[in-house]
Structure 1
Amino acid sequence: MTEILVLYYSRHGSVAQMARRVARGVESQRGASARLRTVPPVGPRHADADSAPLGSEIPADGPPYATTEDLRECAGLVLGSPTRFGNMAAPLKYFLDGTSDLWLSGALAGKPAAVFTSTGTLHGGQETTLLSMMLPLLHHGMLLVGLPYTLPELSATRAGGTPYGASHYAGVSRAPLPLDRDEAALCEALGRRVAEFALKLGSR
């Protein structure tokens, strides 16, 4: 079975909802399965705080926290984050900053990868966030997969959706907007495309 790592950080649930749709797209491909993983929050820690490493707690629910072994073992990666001032969220960046051993060994080189994001406002930095997430993947030598305009939802969407990766307009209320039909279809298409490429690369 070809496993695709769907790795994300989600604060209010929108990115987690997208991740599940991406995983559905991965698993629509015969011979592929999705490995859902998340990362813990990060924040300031003072000298008098607990000595345990920040974020070392086991999540109360949802998928487990990712390790670098998840990246090493999987045949592809789909990375998701909410936008933070046009950039990926700090917890995901913190995790990626700890993957230098994989970079040194070239463990991720040649594997397909893609990105997705959610924003509170329609023009809240979706595309810049997606591009920021691509940079470390390029440094790892991964093969970036986007969304082509042959997908009708990309031209029809009135919410999220970009050629750089799947996106979602969540709104700024306490109850985030659910994925609409086009956004959900593009999330699934992204997972499906990464799985397709991983299967093709693995058969060579």
Structure 2
Amino acid sequence: MTAKILIVYYSRNGSTEKMARQIARGVESVGDCEAILRTVPEVSTVCEKVADSIPASGAPYITLQELEQCDGLALGSPTHFGNMAAPLKYFIDSTTALWFPGTLSGKPAGVFTSTGSLHGGQETTLLSMMLPLMHHGMVVMSLPCNEIALRETVSGGTPYGPSHCSEIDSELSEHEKRLCWVLGERLAKTAVALKHAR
């Protein structure tokens, strides 16, 4: 009975995607867990239209059916003025059909972000992504305060979820990688426990 953890992200310059891949490693370090990487299409700034149905490269686009069938969710976005990016918000706004019956209720979820500057709004972005997850009734996971990487990091990392600052370094620091891994592991372990309890 494998627990499927969806890692859904939007990444313009690659930083958020790098984080998603580290979270996937944490998920797959737990037995009976599968990490499923998915992204969302670009949204037009001119009219209500999204990109083609198949991405040119990288992870496939998420579908509502995959979201419905997941046992846990990690949601990631770069920071845009202290908020999640429009393509991710556009997808989340399409999940009303899952909200009415409470499809995601009781499933674990976590969030992650990347910014181009140290004070670019990492924590507000993480909180903005938590709000719809709470409306869906999901169990929102944080990073534990006793995680050493959270106390020692000098770049990204918050109690609300992993973060990365590309202004400091375009590559993830070892602390940032560790925090992504920890979130993936926590989501996976919680999803397995809840799945067996049901």
TM range (shorter): over 0.9
Distance 1:89 1:54 in 2: 14
Instruction: Note the C-alpha offset of 1:46.
Output: 5.3
Say if 2:123 and 2:160, in contact at 8 Å, map to a contact too. yes
5 Å matches for 1:46-61? Answer: 53-61=49-57
- Report the RMSD for the aligned CA atoms in angstroms: 1.3
Q: Which TM-score applies when normalising by structure 2?
A: 0.96
Q: Which TM-score applies when normalising by structure 1?
A: 0.93
Say if 2:19 and 2:177, in contact at 8 Å, map to a contact too. yes
Q: 1:86 aligns to what?
A: 82
Distance 2:45 2:117 in 1: 27
Find the partner of 2:194 among 189, 198, 201.
Answer: 201
| AA at the equivalent of 1:60 | A
* Higher radius of gyration, 1 or 2: 1
Instruction: Note the C-alpha offset of 1:63.
Output: 0.9
Q: 1:71 aligns to what?
A: 67
Distance 1:15 1:114 in 2: 14
Cα distance, 1:121–1:102 mapped onto 2, change above 3 Å? same
Cα distance, 1:46–1:37 mapped onto 2, change above 3 Å? closer
Q: 1:50 aligns to what?
A: none
Q: 1:34 aligns to what?
A: 35
Find the partner of 2:114 among 106, 118, 129.
Answer: 118
Distance 2:118 2:6 in 1: 27
Unmatched 5+ stretches in structure 2: none
Distance 1:13 1:103 in 2: 30
Distance 1:130 1:162 in 2: 9
Distance 1:162 1:116 in 2: 9
Q: 2:19 aligns to what?
A: 18
5 Å matches for 1:111-190? Answer: 111-171=107-167, 177-190=170-183
The number of residues matched between the two structures is: 196
